[in-house]
Amino acid sequence: MNKNDEITLQIHDLHANGNGVGRGSDGRAVFIPNALPGESIRAKILKVKKNYAYGKLIKILTPSPDRLEGDGVCAHFGKCGGCQFQHYAYPAQLAFKEKVVRDAFARIAGIVDCEVRPIIGMDKPYHYRNKAQFPRGMGFYSVRSHRLVPINECAIQHPVCMEVMKVVQGMNLSLYDEESYSGLLRHLVVRVGQNTGEVMVIFVVNGTIGKDNSPFTKMDLPCSTIVLNENTAKTNVILGSKFTTIKGTGYIHEELKGIRYRISPGAFFQTNTIQTKVLYDLVADNIENSKRVIDAYCGIGGIALYVADRVQEIVGIESSFAAVEDAKYNAELNGINNTSFICGLSEELVPELLCKDAKDFDTLILDPPRKGCEASLLGAIVDAKISKIIYISCDPATLARDAKILAEGGYSLNFVQPVDMFPMTGHIEVLSHFSYK
């Protein structure tokens, strides 16, 4: 197989990044974007490595019965990098994601007999995202690059996010250039409280925020608050550390099951409000009979406050000071007095709490970032032998890696529950339930 060869391939599998997987005549794996399992295709080889190759889809010879075309697919699919599966029927997406979870636990954790429950999907898997981040206010980056793809529609963003972007696109703003580090507008961020109707607009600007913010305040935007964020760093990090409110309160609210959450500009909140309630309900259902709980990586107190009425006490730990302040405010706002929140790294503070009061804590909630838990934290959990762990992850691979460590330390994996938090993409949210043997 050589570069620029044209070959016929049978696609037998799918990668989470949206690439179909076939086998060349030499047995080498060939990855083809937008090809689906069961299809016969013609492809042009673009890159050849020792054990695999990348190619470009030229023609579909035999389409998959799960392939979607025309009106069922966003006009920008295949150009912008936001979605991987717009062309894949939703039931097939769910089946694929469930398989990814099973394979991760079998391959990485060596756990082949755990109960992986049917994935919980959405009735309407479109326009679910309550947060949008538009580079230069224009669109999204293409796949694996920083080439900007201007867009005028999006199948997964909340419609208000698109309304805001279109207004900004019509303004004559100086746009940031990543090569010269010049230009004003780096990013446009829009956050929506889907159950409150509140909307926050954040303009990330390349410069110092001065007194004259008229280009932003004069815009007729469908929002309740506008925040400017300074970011002059020569990096790909979206937000800087300084926020200045120029309209409204500088935050929005969301509501779930009667719990009202204040969300600050830089604070984390799940991007799919409907599925967040599904996820939180799962935690609540499985935290019964718990008394004292640690909620690591607690954010603005989303889970802790949601399940506080099921337990005696919850201690939340979060590294973001702003998120901790939100969590404390949210507890007071909802009249919840059996929670406390500490600012710090979970890998440092959880071992300290378990060392002091391990016998008093019977449940640990983990919801770490994509990289999973630090080894020091997992070691402390194993040493403490805490009775129950509810581990939420947005990456089945790192979850499986950590599950293997917990299993080797004496924990039983009782079940795994995938939740489709990110339809049309390869991302998967998973809740897993462990107990000490």
The beta strand positions in 100-184, using DSSP E, are 131-135, 139-141, 148-150
Nearest of 317, 315, 267 to residue 292 by alpha carbon: 315
Is residue 355 annotated as part of the catalytic site, yes or no? no
DSSP 38-61: T-EEEEEEEEE-SSEEEEEEEEEE
Tokens standing for residue 143: 């796949």
Catalytic residue among 83, 114, 298, 394: 394
Q: Which two tokens stand for residue 310?
A: 């099921």
Q: In 3D, which of 412, 365, 373, 411 has the Cα closest to residue 392? A: 365
The pairing of strands 131-135 and 52-62 is: unpaired
- Cα–Cα nearest to 166, from 145, 180, 152: 152
Q: Is the distance from CB of 307 to CB of 316 less than 8 angstroms? A: no
Q: How far apart are CA 99 and CA 379, in angstroms?
A: 29
Q: Would you say 408 and 420 are in contact if contact means Cβ atoms under 8 Å apart?
A: no
DSSP string, 180-210: TTB-SEEEEEEEE-TTT--EEEEEEESS---
How far apart are alpha carbons 359 and 152 in whole angstroms? Answer: 56
Residue 126 token pair: 């479109």
Instruction: Please name every residue paired with 425 in a beta bridge, in sequence order, or none if there are none.
Output: none
List the alpha helices (DSSP H) in 264-361.
273-286, 302-307, 321-333, 346-357
Provide the 8-state DSSP code for 26. T
Q: What is the CA radius of gyration of the chain?
A: 23
Q: Which amino acid type is present at position 40? A: S
Catalytically annotated residues: 394
